[in-house]
Chains A and B, each alone.
Chain A
Amino acid sequence: MNWPAFWLSLQVNAIASIIILVAGLLIALLLARARFRGKILVETVIMLPLVLPPSVIGYYLLLAFGRGSPLFEWFNIRILFTWQAAIAASVVVGIPLMVQSSRAALANVDPVLENAARTLGASELRIFWRVTLPLARRGILAGMILGSARALGEFGATLMITGNIPGRTQTLPVAIYDAVQAQRYADAHLMVLVMTGLAFAGLLLARQLEPTPQYRRTDDAEEAVYDSATHR
């Protein structure tokens, strides 16, 4: 078992998950609520990483962070071939799942509830925190878990932009590849099991969260409770 790779993967995934949550939620809000020109183009671009080969994503990331890119020249961001590059790859592949799921959850919140809150004097910010967000909570969490799980398994793009330096930039999926290349099958077995376990747990959790249960409406037979209470 390659422990440094395991811990690095967890570290990368933790940071990536937070970015996926925040950025993904903002994008989902924008797509669910705002109306603007070219919205469908933005949606499509966000979803692209779901279908592009990892090498293409890796190539774009090399362009985005490499010498001559705005991020490199103007913002002085130099993360290629460091472990932080793995975060970038993770976020890019994880965010479409987050956006998809949380956008649907936000769109599912009954606008009548938000209107009700408005007539009750609540500010738009308060409505978001107290009404919209809690009601979309499950879908948002499910999206984050799916996105994180996908990010944890990121291999191709990560391999291209982190340089696969054992102990420094090597994540668990890449370490498995290495182990197999070097015919260290015992190592590979264990890591494969760990990866499978994590992915399985993540998907299971997401499944449990995903379908927001329909709030059951009881029939008016329960009016009897009212009767007994008022005619005491």
Chain B
Amino acid sequence: MMPKKPSMTPQLTVDFIKRLGRTTMEMRFTAEAEILVLFGPSGAGKTQTLHAVAGLSTPDSGQIRFNDTIFFQRMPGKPVVNLPAQKRRTGYVFQQYALFPHMSALENVAFPLGRRRDARDCAMDLLERMHLAHLAHRMPHELSGGQQQRIAIARALATEPHILLLDESFSALDRPVRERLHEEIRMVQAERRLVVLYVTHNLDDAFAVGHRLAVVRDGRIEQIGRIDDVFTRPANRHVLDILGIPNAMSARVIETGPSGSLLDWDGIFLEAPPINAPSGAEITAYIRPEDIRLVYPDRSLSRMVIHNHLEGIVVERRLERHMYRLRVALRDGRLIEVMYPSSLYATMNPLPGERVRLALRKESIVVIAPRERVLPPAGTILPERVPDAGAIDPASSSLT
């Protein structure tokens, strides 16, 4: 129950290989007292990673270590270690809550405390901490999903874990419930200086709760870093796709200088910020949809640059909260996504089928690493940030 001494920095080191059907997982990362979000499509190996840390599944080789405690080890020249799940002290919160249906809320929370004499008092304290003391004697089926999940969190905390694993824990819950639980998790994490691994496929959740983001694909981490860093500096095309960042493109550098560069995007010339790549290099970039402006048809283009100007036909318009999302087909068929606040362009009000003109600010083009990132050799831990992620414009890095 006591918060850990702040001087001690908990550190979870994960580095393992596990074959799963046709793919081979190669998970490598470290996490400290923070909330690390594992984000990626289903089947990417996020849950498997949590299972490996918790001891619910056994990797083929590698090492999983928390501070000086080796959870799992199978490496050449070293003794094999596979600490049973019972001894790892990880709190695991499942998506389906996994409360014992034949026990009351209180009995569920007291379960990990075993025969300790103060088990009931401890469990009651934890329920109080999660604002559930008044429901202590209810059975799980008499509780709502949010309440059940809070009890599951209280139960996981009863073992006084150092590591908390959240496996899509809140994805079955409504938005307001989820937001409250995110708050609780952030508070509990800070209070107890827990290492929290949070698996989700919902980006809103990642932003709401995470300190850092690990983008998982095909059993590997494509990129890991602070969430806004990952968004403003995606390491490669896969990360763009997984994060759902639209308007990704491959382009060739025509020329580059201190004030900007010129790109050839399959026949469309674009002015972009300066790039850390030689002329002729192939690069990956994307255009921020919210940085694309619509041009009123009656206004002249005199003040626009000749290049970053596109024309197309609206194929789709959707209202998302306070933003319109347009999909515009250019003359050669490629699609561009444009986002703008619903309060803008009211007089123009572009509808599907109508012709629109688009103007791109130079800064709307974000160039990411000119080459695909290469994984470091086995046995090393990934650097926290990806080096030389190309040129970015720090002024326009607000994406939230």
Residues of B76-92 at the interface with A, using a CB-CB cut-off of 8 Å, are 84-92
B158 touches A120 (CB 8 A): yes
Answer yes or no: A229 CB below 8 A from chain B CBs.
yes
Q: How far is the CA of A154 from the CA of B92 in the complex (A)?
A: 50
Chain B residues near A226: list those with CB within 8 A: 131-132, 144, 146-147
A215 touches B144 (CB 8 A): no
Known: A112-B94, A220-B173. A215 touches B100 (CB 8 A): no
Measured CB to CB, the nearest residue on chain B to A127 is: B86
Q: What 1/0 flags go to B84-128 for Cβ under 8 Å of A?
A: 111111111010101011100000000110100000000000000
Q: How far is the CA of A131 from the CA of B101 in the complex (A)?
A: 9
Measured CB to CB, the nearest residue on chain B to A113 is: B98
Measured CB to CB, the nearest residue on chain B to A130 is: B111
Chain B residues near A131: list those with CB within 8 A: 100
Answer yes or no: B266 CB below 8 A from chain A CBs.
no
Instruction: Please give the distance in Å from B150's CB to the nearest CB on chain A.
Output: 8
A119 touches B174 (CB 8 A): no
A135 touches B102 (CB 8 A): yes
Q: How far is the CA of A151 from the CA of B156 in the complex (A)?
A: 46
Chain B residues near A123: list those with CB within 8 A: 86
Chain B residues near A218: list those with CB within 8 A: 141-144
B140 touches A215 (CB 8 A): yes
Chain A residues near B85: list those with CB within 8 A: 115, 118-119
A121 touches B112 (CB 8 A): yes
Chain A residues near B88: list those with CB within 8 A: 119
Measured CB to CB, the nearest residue on chain A to B54 is: A119
Measured CB to CB, the nearest residue on chain A to B107 is: A130
Answer yes or no: A217 CB below 8 A from chain B CBs.
yes
Chain B residues near A126: list those with CB within 8 A: 114
Chain B residues near A118: list those with CB within 8 A: 55-56, 84-86
Measured CB to CB, the nearest residue on chain A to B51 is: A115
Known: A112-B94, A115-B56. A120 touches B140 (CB 8 A): no
Chain B residues near A121: list those with CB within 8 A: 86-87, 89, 112, 114, 159
Residues of B42-58 at the interface with A, using a CB-CB cut-off of 8 Å, are 54-56
Q: How far is the CA of A100 from the CA of B97 in the complex (A)?
A: 29
Instruction: Please give the distance in Å from A205's CB to the nearest CB on chain B.
Output: 20
Instruction: Please give the distance in Å from B344's CB to the nearest CB on chain A.
Output: 36
Answer yes or no: B155 CB below 8 A from chain A CBs.
yes
Chain B residues near A230: list those with CB within 8 A: 131
Answer yes or no: B295 CB below 8 A from chain A CBs.
no
Instruction: Please give the distance in Å from A42's CB to the nearest CB on chain B.
Output: 28
B155 touches A120 (CB 8 A): yes
Answer yes or no: A216 CB below 8 A from chain B CBs.
yes
Q: How far is the CA of A220 from the CA of B180 in the complex (A)?
A: 14
Answer yes or no: B246 CB below 8 A from chain A CBs.
no
A221 touches B144 (CB 8 A): yes
Q: What 1/0 flags go to A198-232 for Cβ under 8 Å of B?
A: 00000000000000000111111111011001100
Chain A residues near B145: list those with CB within 8 A: 217, 219-220
Q: How far is the CA of A113 from the CA of B140 in the complex (A)?
A: 13
Answer yes or no: A117 CB below 8 A from chain B CBs.
yes
Which of B86, B91, B135, B140 is the one whose CB lies under 8 Å from A225? B135
A229 touches B134 (CB 8 A): yes
Answer yes or no: A166 CB below 8 A from chain B CBs.
no
Answer yes or no: A116 CB below 8 A from chain B CBs.
yes
Answer yes or no: A70 CB below 8 A from chain B CBs.
no
Chain B residues near A223: list those with CB within 8 A: 144, 146-147, 174, 176-177
Chain B residues near A119: list those with CB within 8 A: 54-56, 85-86, 88, 90-92, 156, 159, 165
Which of B84, B92, B114, B143 is the one whose CB lies under 8 Å from A116? B92
Instruction: Please give the distance in Å from B349's CB to the nearest CB on chain A.
Output: 38
Instruction: Please give the distance in Å from B23's CB to the nearest CB on chain A.
Output: 23
Measured CB to CB, the nearest residue on chain A to B50 is: A119
Chain A residues near B135: list those with CB within 8 A: 225, 229
Instruction: Please give the distance in Å from B121's CB to the nearest CB on chain A.
Output: 18
Answer yes or no: A53 CB below 8 A from chain B CBs.
no
24 A-B pairs whose Cβ atoms sit less than 8 Å apart in the complex: A110-B96, A110-B98, A115-B85, A115-B92, A115-B98, A116-B92, A117-B111, A119-B85, A119-B88, A119-B92, A119-B165, A120-B111, A121-B86, A121-B112, A123-B86, A134-B102, A219-B144, A220-B145, A221-B144, A223-B174, A225-B134, A226-B147, A229-B134, A230-B131
Chain B residues in the interface with A (C-beta under 8 A): 54-56, 84-92, 94, 96, 98, 100-102, 111-112, 114, 131-132, 134-135, 140-147, 155-156, 158-159, 165, 173-174, 176-177
Q: Which 10 residue pairs of A and B lie closest in terms of their CB atoms, listed nearest first?
A: A120-B112, A222-B144, A118-B85, A116-B98, A119-B92, A215-B141, A230-B131, A220-B144, A215-B101, A112-B98
